[in-house]
Amino acid sequence: MTAALSNELNQAFQKMQDDPSVKAGVIISAKPDCFLAGADISMLAACESEAEVTNLSTGAQKQLADFEAGPKPLVAAIMGTCLGGGLELALACQYRIAVNDKKTALGFPEVKLGLLPGAGGTQRVLSSVLAVDQALKLVLTGSTLNATRAKKAGLVHEVIQPLGPGIQSASDNTLAYLEAIAVDKACELADGKLTPSKPTLSLVQKVMRYFVGTAYGRGVFFDRAKKQVMAQTKGLYPAPLRIIEVMKTSMAKGSAVGYREEAKAFGQLAMTSESKALFGLFFGHTECKRRRFPAPVKPVK
């Protein structure tokens, strides 16, 4: 999610709102194997202050809040990687469809960069994922879910099967099929013929929701999570602990406070030495994948 892409999305969203002939919208990637892989890390690395990063987070939160609250429904059509800012964008849409393909993966990898989701992800995942412990685990560990597991968890509303090859490749056929279904669902949402629904909570999930909804239950649940994090990290990585604090605060004081705490924590974490070191590893890993066999420094003799 670069600044340019963010601006293009804003322009398209505003154009959709201003055009009375448009009743709904679909967000889909032209790349078959990637919906959106996350934020532009180089943009974050270029920030020089906590306030600068916090402002980026606040701006992204507002953008997705506008998408979520817009009068015209949005459908996220997911094929391939849907990580970080990509999943935050999808969760701001009123309906989500995912392709049941081995390359489809949904998750929040920000913790692996010493960060937390900064565009409202810590808040929306709590309301989207059925199991509170699974919502916390997704953000704390950076683990991913395939399409089937994402639907079971409540992250997506519908899963479709991929198509085989024909005149076009299998991936191109599937992408076109996904787009057609997404457009149909968008029209149904606009006409009031479709109401997004989630899987029914199990008894255990209902009990957990109730338990964590109490002050005592929250204390027990998040204290246990903190002890597990400390046992694994020895307190050397601040991001997991801040994630626990932000999500606990959100459940105790509401999402309005939660959004502010998320943006504040995002700014603070981005300026830590741990995050900067993990950024460096990320850039190095990316460069190694891009240039597996670089030119030799000295001529071979």
Options 24, 37, 39, 60, the catalytic residue: 39
Known active-site residue 142? no
Q: What is the pLDDT of residue 136?
A: 92
**By C-alpha distance, which of 203, 230, 43 is closest to 130?**
203
Q: What is the pLDDT of residue 130?
A: 74
User: For 120-150, what is each residue's pLDDT tens digit?
Assistant: 999 999 887 778 888 999 999 999 999 999 9
User: For 26-55, what is each residue's pLDDT tens digit?
Assistant: 999 999 889 998 877 888 888 889 999 999
Known active-site residue 245? no
Q: What is the pLDDT of residue 273?
A: 87
Q: What is the pLDDT of residue 128?
A: 79
- The secondary structure of 229-255 as a DSSP string is HHHHHTT--HHHHHHHHHHHHHHHH-H
Known active-site residue 219? no
Q: What is the pLDDT of residue 206?
A: 87
| Cα torsion angle, 129, 131, 132, 135, sign | negative
State both tokens at 186.
């968008």
Q: What is the pLDDT of residue 295?
A: 67
Ranges in the chain, pLDDT < 70? 292-297, 300-301
Q: Which amino acid is at 50?
A: E
Task: For 130-155, give the secondary structure using H, E and C.
Answer: CCHHHHHHHHHHCCEECHHHHHHHCC
Known active-site residue 280? no
Options 70, 85, 120, 267, the catalytic residue: 85
pTM (2 decimals)?
0.89
Architecture per CATH, domain 13-289, reads as Alpha-Beta Complex (3.90)
Q: What is the pLDDT of residue 155?
A: 93
Q: Cα separation of 154 and 127, whole Å?
A: 9
Q: What is the pLDDT of residue 39?
A: 78
Q: What is the pLDDT of residue 301?
A: 67
Task: Classify strands 144-145 and 105-107 as parallel, antiparallel or unpaired.
Answer: antiparallel
Options 70, 88, 186, 225, the catalytic residue: 88
Options 76, 86, 110, 265, the catalytic residue: 110
Dihedral, CA of residue 55, residue 57, residue 61 and residue 67, to nearest 10: 100
Q: Cα separation of 276 and 270, whole Å?
A: 7
Helix (H, G, I), strand (E, B) or coil at 159: strand
